[in-house]
Protein backbone atom coordinates (compact mmCIF):
# COMPACT_ATOMS: atom_id res chain seq x y z
CA UNK A 1 0.00 0.00 0.00
CA UNK A 2 1.26 3.42 -0.93
CA UNK A 3 -0.23 6.87 -0.43
CA UNK A 4 -0.23 8.41 -3.89
CA UNK A 5 -1.84 11.68 -2.97
CA UNK A 6 -3.61 13.19 -0.02
CA UNK A 7 -7.20 13.74 -0.99
CA UNK A 8 -9.78 15.97 0.55
CA UNK A 9 -13.53 16.08 0.32
CA UNK A 10 -14.86 16.91 -3.14
CA UNK A 11 -15.43 20.51 -4.15
CA UNK A 12 -17.35 22.24 -6.92
CA UNK A 13 -19.24 20.02 -9.34
CA UNK A 14 -17.88 16.83 -7.73
CA UNK A 15 -19.35 17.96 -4.39
CA UNK A 16 -22.73 18.62 -6.01
CA UNK A 17 -22.74 15.17 -7.62
CA UNK A 18 -21.52 13.55 -4.39
CA UNK A 19 -24.48 15.04 -2.54
CA UNK A 20 -27.19 13.96 -5.03
CA UNK A 21 -28.19 10.93 -2.93
CA UNK A 22 -29.17 13.35 -0.13
CA UNK A 23 -31.81 14.78 -2.48
CA UNK A 24 -33.07 11.26 -3.22
CA UNK A 25 -33.47 10.61 0.51
CA UNK A 26 -35.28 13.94 0.98
CA UNK A 27 -37.66 13.01 -1.86
CA UNK A 28 -38.49 9.74 -0.07
CA UNK A 29 -36.49 7.67 -2.55
CA UNK A 30 -33.90 6.37 -0.08
CA UNK A 31 -34.94 2.75 -0.63
CA UNK A 32 -33.71 2.88 -4.26
CA UNK A 33 -30.17 3.40 -2.91
CA UNK A 34 -30.22 0.05 -1.15
CA UNK A 35 -28.80 -0.85 2.24
CA UNK A 36 -25.19 0.16 1.55
CA UNK A 37 -25.85 3.91 1.37
CA UNK A 38 -26.79 5.66 4.61
CA UNK A 39 -28.07 9.19 5.19
CA UNK A 40 -26.41 10.51 8.33
CA UNK A 41 -28.01 13.48 10.07
CA UNK A 42 -25.75 15.06 12.67
CA UNK A 43 -25.09 18.36 14.42
CA UNK A 44 -22.42 20.77 13.20
CA UNK A 45 -19.73 21.17 15.87
CA UNK A 46 -19.33 24.91 15.19
CA UNK A 47 -22.71 26.00 13.85
CA UNK A 48 -24.91 23.74 15.97
CA UNK A 49 -27.06 23.31 12.86
CA UNK A 50 -28.40 20.06 11.44
CA UNK A 51 -26.11 18.61 8.77
CA UNK A 52 -26.55 15.68 6.40
CA UNK A 53 -24.17 13.49 4.46
CA UNK A 54 -24.44 10.20 2.63
CA UNK A 55 -21.86 7.57 3.48
CA UNK A 56 -21.44 3.91 2.67
CA UNK A 57 -22.27 1.22 5.20
CA UNK A 58 -19.22 -1.04 5.12
CA UNK A 59 -20.48 -3.48 7.75
CA UNK A 60 -23.79 -4.29 9.39
CA UNK A 61 -24.08 -6.53 12.44
CA UNK A 62 -26.03 -7.00 15.67
CA UNK A 63 -24.36 -3.88 17.12
CA UNK A 64 -25.34 -1.50 14.32
CA UNK A 65 -23.84 -0.03 11.19
CA UNK A 66 -20.20 0.78 10.45
CA UNK A 67 -18.92 3.48 8.09
CA UNK A 68 -15.45 4.69 7.22
CA UNK A 69 -14.36 8.30 6.97
CA UNK A 70 -12.65 7.92 3.61
CA UNK A 71 -11.32 11.47 3.73
CA UNK A 72 -9.78 10.85 7.13
CA UNK A 73 -10.25 12.34 10.58
CA UNK A 74 -10.57 15.86 9.16
CA UNK A 75 -13.83 15.12 7.33
CA UNK A 76 -16.53 17.41 8.69
CA UNK A 77 -19.06 14.66 9.37
CA UNK A 78 -16.48 12.65 11.30
CA UNK A 79 -15.39 15.61 13.42
CA UNK A 80 -19.04 16.48 14.05
CA UNK A 81 -20.05 13.02 15.27
CA UNK A 82 -16.95 12.81 17.47
CA UNK A 83 -18.09 16.08 19.10
CA UNK A 84 -21.78 15.15 19.35
CA UNK A 85 -22.38 11.39 18.89
CA UNK A 86 -26.20 11.61 18.99
CA UNK A 87 -27.21 11.16 15.35
CA UNK A 88 -29.99 9.89 13.12
CA UNK A 89 -29.28 7.38 10.37
CA UNK A 90 -31.50 6.37 7.51
CA UNK A 91 -30.82 3.24 5.53
CA UNK A 92 -33.35 2.75 2.78
CA UNK A 93 -36.71 3.48 4.39
CA UNK A 94 -35.55 2.77 7.96
CA UNK A 95 -34.85 5.78 10.22
CA UNK A 96 -33.02 5.20 13.50
CA UNK A 97 -31.71 7.37 16.29
CA UNK A 98 -28.17 6.18 16.95
CA UNK A 99 -24.97 6.84 18.86
CA UNK A 100 -21.68 7.22 16.97
CA UNK A 101 -18.62 5.54 18.47
CA UNK A 102 -15.09 5.41 17.03
CA UNK A 103 -13.74 1.95 16.26
CA UNK A 104 -10.18 0.99 17.32
CA UNK A 105 -7.59 1.07 14.52
CA UNK A 106 -6.88 -2.66 14.51
CA UNK A 107 -10.59 -3.47 14.32
CA UNK A 108 -10.90 -0.99 11.43
CA UNK A 109 -8.08 -2.79 9.63
CA UNK A 110 -9.99 -6.09 9.83
CA UNK A 111 -13.25 -4.44 8.76
CA UNK A 112 -11.48 -3.05 5.68
CA UNK A 113 -9.96 -6.44 4.83
CA UNK A 114 -13.38 -8.11 5.11
CA UNK A 115 -15.02 -5.36 3.04
CA UNK A 116 -12.34 -5.85 0.35
CA UNK A 117 -13.09 -9.56 0.09
CA UNK A 118 -16.84 -8.89 -0.28
CA UNK A 119 -16.58 -5.94 -2.69
CA UNK A 120 -13.29 -6.22 -4.63
CA UNK A 121 -14.19 -3.81 -7.45
CA UNK A 122 -15.67 -1.16 -5.15
CA UNK A 123 -12.71 -1.30 -2.73
CA UNK A 124 -10.19 -0.65 -5.52
CA UNK A 125 -12.17 2.39 -6.68
CA UNK A 126 -12.55 3.66 -3.12
CA UNK A 127 -8.85 3.27 -2.36
CA UNK A 128 -7.98 5.20 -5.52
CA UNK A 129 -10.47 7.93 -4.58
CA UNK A 130 -8.93 8.15 -1.09
CA UNK A 131 -5.43 8.42 -2.58
CA UNK A 132 -4.11 4.92 -1.85
CA UNK A 133 -2.41 2.64 -4.39
CA UNK A 134 -3.00 -0.98 -3.45
CA UNK A 135 -1.83 -4.22 -5.03
CA UNK A 136 -4.99 -6.08 -4.02
CA UNK A 137 -3.45 -8.10 -1.20
CA UNK A 138 -5.28 -8.39 2.12
CA UNK A 139 -2.37 -6.75 3.96
CA UNK A 140 -2.68 -3.68 1.74
CA UNK A 141 -6.35 -3.34 2.64
CA UNK A 142 -5.57 -3.80 6.32
CA UNK A 143 -3.04 -0.97 6.09
CA UNK A 144 -5.61 1.29 4.41
CA UNK A 145 -8.02 0.37 7.21
CA UNK A 146 -5.45 1.47 9.79
CA UNK A 147 -5.14 4.87 8.12
CA UNK A 148 -8.82 5.83 7.94
CA UNK A 149 -11.17 6.13 10.90
CA UNK A 150 -14.19 3.86 11.23
CA UNK A 151 -17.33 4.70 13.18
CA UNK A 152 -20.03 2.40 14.54
CA UNK A 153 -23.58 3.77 14.60
CA UNK A 154 -25.43 1.89 17.31
CA UNK A 155 -29.23 2.27 17.22
CA UNK A 156 -30.87 3.48 20.42
CA UNK A 157 -33.95 1.55 21.53
CA UNK A 158 -36.23 4.61 21.39
CA UNK A 159 -37.04 6.73 18.38
CA UNK A 160 -37.22 4.02 15.73
CA UNK A 161 -39.47 4.49 12.75
CA UNK A 162 -39.74 3.73 9.07
CA UNK A 163 -40.01 0.56 7.04
What pLDDT, in 10s, does the model give residues 104-161? 999 999 999 999 999 999 999 889 888 898 998 999 999 999 999 999 999 997 645 5
53 or 162: whose pLDDT is higher? 53
Can you give the pLDDT at residue 163?
47
What proportion of the chain, given as a percentage, has pLDDT over 90?
71
pLDDT (0 to 100) of residue 154:
98
pLDDT higher than threshold 80 for residue 3: no
Residue 106: phi and psi, rounded to 5, are -65, -35
* Domain definitions of the chain by residue range: 2-156
Q: What is 2-156's CATH number, 2.40.170.20, 3.20.20.10, 1.10.3470.10, 2.30.110.10? A: 2.30.110.10
Contacts of 115 (CB under 8 A, 6+ apart): 58, 59, 123, 141
Neighbour count for residue 102 (Cβ, 10 Å): 17
Amino acid sequence: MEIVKKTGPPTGLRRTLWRLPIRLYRMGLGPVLGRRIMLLTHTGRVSGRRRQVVIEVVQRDEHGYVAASGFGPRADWYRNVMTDPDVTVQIGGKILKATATPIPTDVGAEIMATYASRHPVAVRRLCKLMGFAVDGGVDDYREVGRRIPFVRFTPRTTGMSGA
